[in-house]
A and B are shown apart, each in its own frame.
Chain A
């Protein structure tokens, strides 16, 4: 399968299938040819990324749907591929490859690689799937794979953090399952496209808010949503830092995308958006306040990631293309910055006090931290500013009491965020206490490269803010278009609309 083969729409299943296949082949291949098995994971992911980029180039203009196994949509499972799905599906193999775990633990590399591939396959499926129960299954696969990865350091603390994460996640899954059962009771279907057709009659009423709330809390566990995020600091402080980077940067975003798809297609009533707005704003302010108190780098980044995801939920709750644009800008911004900060934290993990004067031994890394901090706070020319500006403008335009309250919380949280990030920056450039603090190890070349690439990407986006926002608006337009989703999955919708 090398060289330039012609790409077709059917290839969009391969980024899910190939990593799964490779994960199962890993052990038998390891018995026969171990070096080959060690190469299998990165090679599969590289191939997936290549396929997705080809698909983006060939079919990025119009969304298309794929009936898995040839079973027609309402009964069979569909993959819905639009720019939003392709964007996040491409991010999965790329980021998994960048954070391919090496040397942070002494687990058997083949087992670890297999679990990483499972995570990549399930996460890609989460981005592409157009069937509620299929999404649930992929979500559970992501969950189980992440439990395995979090325990990689095999310390007692990691096991405690994992089991608490597992129990909360399982409770969330039960709630999501109840939500799915209620949706099925009310509509008799689980295909997202058919749900979108039936939603105006069946789901957009007070009874429809119940399944949305259950699904929001259920999928919100991975998305670090406000009341169900207690696992985040514990897990990010005890897991290998690269795994934390993947969970914070990538997996949380895919859970958000699932919730957003559900919101746009089936639950576009006001109650659902208000719930998301309230939980998001509370998550932002509580996350930032907790980060302000954190004394070690990993937990500071963890709490800050809770805060940023709260902001993302506020963005998506604005509704319409404007809300989608604000949310997507925040999602991508956080995806890049938090991945890069965790990449730097691979060697800088531990107490913040250790970082005093780190700028002397690692000037470029410290400079990158300053850049990321400024963008997170939202200092004008940087992309973070534009993302936050879109959010604030959307909230002002909404100007309901709830939106204005959320606006106040967002501004308050940003002030807190500025305070602790500037404190971190000042610490990096402060005079080291005395000779007692040992010199910090420099980040590994790969991690340093990831962080630098993120910095360059951020600066490039700063310079070319107009084309980037235009491109993002295109993605947002497509993702917010419910009619297009229905038409794509059911091309003969006029015949089918009276089906039930």
Chain B
């Protein structure tokens, strides 16, 4: 990065600002959004920012794409390693996004909504029903815990066992 003209310098600055800008927009979108599909879209934006940053990390001033045989051997090339990495990262990202969208379809089929607040309520209710308990704060389960019944004293337990036996025999 020694001899860098003013044009290429401003180019690099713009690209870096763009990469971090995409990241920030994506991250804020994921945190602030209340709709699952918008969250997925925000994720796509954030991933684009990360991938751009990765490509930029191998950028050289005035260098060409690192493809063998397309230009003379003495022309400088950009660092090929980040380009390979970013290919992998893009493929992984697409796979994860496709998986996310397919799960979103299932959710929409079951609940008819993709609103995060509504789905969180559904989730809590479903977990409570699955666990066999009333949702927190409902009439059946007001806040706080009920005291447990005291353990059975040994003498009582023996006596009830004895009466059970005599009751059974008589």
**A residues bordering B, Cβ < 8 Å?**
75, 133, 137, 140, 143-144, 147, 151, 155-157, 159-163, 166-167, 170-171, 173-174, 177-178, 180-182, 184-185, 188, 190, 234, 237-238, 295-296, 298-299, 349-351, 353-354, 356, 426-427, 429-431, 433
Contact = CB atoms under 8 A, between A and B. Distances in A.
A349 B131 contact: yes
Interface string B134-163: 001000010000001111100000000000
B78 interface: no
Contacts of B43: 167, 170-171, 174
A177 B54 contact: yes
Given A137-B88, A178-B53, A184-B57, A159 B131 contact: no
B25 interface: no
A120 B51 CA distance: 28
Interface in B15-71: 23, 26-27, 30, 36, 39-40, 43, 46-47, 49-51, 53-54, 56-58
Interface string B104-128: 1011001100000001101100111
A144 B82 CA distance: 23
B48 to A, nearest CB: 10
Contact of B130 (A137, A181, A350): A350
B85 interface: yes
The 6 A-B pairs of least Cβ separation, nearest first, read A157-B126, A351-B133, A296-B131, A156-B110, A350-B131, A177-B50
Given A237-B131, A430-B148, A430-B151, A140 B96 contact: yes
Contacts of B111: 156, 160
Contact of A181 (B57, B123, B133): B57
Nearest to A186: B57
A5 B30 CA distance: 53
A296 B135 CA distance: 11
SS of A interface (majority): helix
Contacts of A430: 148-151
A173 B50 CA distance: 10
B5 interface: no
B96 A163 contact: no
B132 interface: yes
B115 to A, nearest CB: 11
Interface residues of B, number: 55
B98 to A, nearest CB: 10
A350 B95 CA distance: 34
A156 B151 contact: no
Interface of B: 23, 26-27, 30, 36, 39-40, 43, 46-47, 49-51, 53-54, 56-58, 79, 81-82, 85, 88-89, 92-93, 95-97, 99-100, 103-104, 106-107, 110-111, 119-120, 122-123, 126-128, 130-133, 136, 141, 148-152
A157 B130 contact: yes
A171 B122 contact: no
A149 to B, nearest CB: 13
A296 B149 CA distance: 19
A171 B131 contact: no
A75 B81 CA distance: 9
Given A181-B57, A430-B148, A159 B103 contact: yes
Contacts of B119: 160
Given A156-B126, A166-B96, A133 B151 contact: no
Given A237-B131, A296-B127, A140 B82 contact: no
B151 A178 contact: no
B92 A137 contact: yes
Contact of B150 (A144, A353, A431): A431
Contacts of A354: 132
Contact of B133 (A151, A173, A182, A295): A295
13 contacts: A143-B96, A147-B103, A157-B122, A160-B122, A163-B107, A167-B30, A167-B36, A174-B47, A182-B53, A296-B133, A298-B131, A350-B133, A431-B150
A346 B129 CA distance: 17
A157 B93 CA distance: 24
B139 to A, nearest CB: 16
A349 B97 CA distance: 32
A477 B57 CA distance: 35
A426 B95 CA distance: 48
Contacts of A350: 130-133
Which of A147, A161, A185, A354 has most B Cβ within 10 Å?
A: A185
Contacts of A75: 81
B60 to A, nearest CB: 12
A298 B130 CA distance: 11
B7 to A, nearest CB: 21
B57 A163 contact: no
A182 B120 CA distance: 36
A234 B123 contact: yes
Given A180-B54, A234-B123, A430-B148, A160 B46 contact: no
A171 B148 contact: no
Given A156-B107, A167-B40, A350-B132, A144 B96 contact: yes
B121 to A, nearest CB: 10
Given A137-B88, A156-B122, 9 more contacts: A163-B104, A167-B100, A177-B51, A180-B85, A181-B57, A296-B127, A299-B127, A429-B151, A431-B150
A160 B112 CA distance: 12
A155 B148 CA distance: 33
A429 B148 CA distance: 10
Contacts of B51: 177
Given A137-B92, A174-B23, A351 B131 contact: yes
A299 B124 CA distance: 12
A143 B100 CA distance: 12
Contacts of B88: 133, 137
Nearest to A162: B103
Contact of A431 (B27, B39, B106, B149): B149
Nearest to A161: B123
